[in-house]
Structure 1
Amino acid sequence: MAVNHFHLLIADDDDDLRAGLRILLREMFGHITEADTPAGVMMRLDENYPDLLLLDLNFARGRTDGGEGVDLLQQIHTRWPDLPV
């Protein structure tokens, strides 16, 4: 399969998960960037708008309620309402 020019941003605090997704999706996306914190997600979005964002809902250790990710998603959709997440 040929690599295309779509840009994917993977946002997750788990290094192994990001690595696995990068390997799994590298043929579908010509450009993959990563962020491991909510602040890093916003920085990456400011730097280079992706075609798709894969967003973790829990960044902080021990958080399992998804609130952190939902709050971040609201911030993202306020600034970039057309970004597929």
Structure 2
Amino acid sequence: MNLSPLEIQSIIERSFLPSVCTCSVAPDQSLTIRVCDCMTGHVDLVATHVPLWKLDSVHGIATLVAEMRQQIQSQKNVKPTFYH
């Protein structure tokens, strides 16, 4: 399956709704993906240098999105440590 970069961006961005996700393609054909909380604007995750050529199938995109969601969730589960 040959998806265009715009199609890949659109699929990824919609996959993170209701969070705000933006993708940009670098000259080296890699993606930068930024996911922000829609209520607070807090940046949940920024992934850089994601190889666009590895996202040439729905499976490749789904795997990336699942890994990123897992990273975001694991960061949200980390409780701050306070020292007295």
TM-score above 0.5: no
Choose between structure 1 and 2: higher strand proportion. 2
TM-score normalised by length of structure 1: 0.34
Larger radius of gyration: 2
TM-score normalised by length of structure 2: 0.34
